[in-house]
Amino acid sequence: MPRPEEVLFPTRKERVGDRRKERQHRKVVDEFFDHPTLLAIGKLVNRGEFREVDFPISTGKEGGVFRATAADGYRAVKIYRIHNAIFRHLPPYVVEWVRQEVGATANAARMVFAWTRREHTILSRLVAADVRVPRPTACLRNVLVMEFIGEDGLPAPPLVEAVVEDPQALYADLVVQLRRMVASAGLVHADLSPYNVLVLRGSPVLIDVAQAIPVDHPQARELLERDAATFARYFRKLGVDTSPEAFFAASGGDHWAPEEAA
């Protein structure tokens, strides 16, 4: 079996003449692949989840998503950074859930592990409800393995970067996915934006679902209304005749009885 670090970006190791890319490679390895994470990667490789990590798809303050090669194609491997900064900008209800899960005195690592498990659980719940999301396949420590969303080995772009050929069809499909999320899975995304909706062959795929909350949460309606306002503005710029109220109703807003809106 290869050592864990030997499965990181193997194709790039061949480009010994390109020093700039080698420096970028080293920077990403140093930022995301500390020794415990490498051990988790090694265990997932030994389980057959994937063979090697190819390259980063996206990186941010909270973590990064990487393409990995598996025996039957590709996977997306999400790695959360181990630090408290992940929870600094999260709403109180999320931090409260994490604290309840791991205890009030838990360290940053245990909190991040719980957060990773939460995303795996929510993705599984959404898959069961026929919501279009990446299908999760494994979760270990701060590493989440998911279905790769893309074509020909290239990741699907987020909506904010995608060329939308049929905005009306995309709009109609998106509200169907959100309605299934509300009506079938009993969840509201709570952090939806054009940055965390991927577009694959003209269809939306929801990602970054760890902040999702049950529809009976006191803030659920308010958060869906906020997402509706964001997407109504976005789709109106693309020429779709909609409004925050119309988007809200179409994406599951009628889950709440009229008296609840009063």
pLDDT in tens, 74-109: 999 999 988 766 666 677 777 777 777 777 667 778
Residues 142 and 129 in one domain: yes
Collapse the DSSP code of 19 into the 3-class scheme (helix H, G, I; strand E, B; otherwise coil) and give the result: helix
pLDDT in tens, 146-163: 999 999 999 999 999 999
Cα distance from N-terminal residue to C-terminal residue, the chain: 62
Residues 122 and 241 in one domain: no
Residues 146 and 160 in one domain: no
Which pLDDT does position 18 carry in this prediction? 55
Q: Are 220 and 214 in contact (CB under 8 A)?
A: yes
User: Is 191 a catalytic site residue?
Assistant: yes
pLDDT in tens, 151-198: 999 999 999 999 999 999 999 999 999 999 999 999 999 889 999 999
Q: How confident is the model at residue 259 (pLDDT cuts 50, 70, 90)?
A: very low
Residues 99 and 26 in one domain: yes
DSSP designation for 191: S
Catalytic residue among 208, 216, 227, 241: 208
Is the pLDDT at 70 greater than 80? The verdict is: yes
Residues 146 and 161 in one domain: no
Q: Which of 106, 129, 151 is the last residue of a domain?
A: 151
Residues 17 and 105 in one domain: yes
Residues 96 and 188 in one domain: no
Residues 70 and 134 in one domain: yes
Is the pLDDT at 14 greater than 60? The verdict is: no
Residues 104 and 192 in one domain: no
Residues 95 and 177 in one domain: no
Residues 126 and 89 in one domain: yes
Which pLDDT does position 26 carry in this prediction? 64
Which pLDDT does position 261 carry in this prediction? 44
Is the pLDDT at 221 greater than 90? The verdict is: yes
Greatest distance between any 2 Cα atoms in the chain: 67
User: Is 208 a catalytic site residue?
Assistant: yes
* Domain encompassing residue 171: 156-261
Which pLDDT does position 86 carry in this prediction? 67
Collapse the DSSP code of 199 into the 3-class scheme (helix H, G, I; strand E, B; otherwise coil) and give the result: strand
Q: Which of 117, 133, 151 is the last residue of a domain?
A: 151
% of the chain with per-residue pLDDT over 70: 84
Which pLDDT does position 28 carry in this prediction? 67
Which tokens in the block code for residue 130? 């026929």
Q: Across the chain, what does the average pLDDT equal?
A: 86
Burial (CB < 10 A; 0-12, 13-18, 19+), residue 151, is exposed
Tally the domains of the chain: 2
Catalytic residue among 18, 173, 191, 216: 191
Residues 27 and 77 in one domain: yes
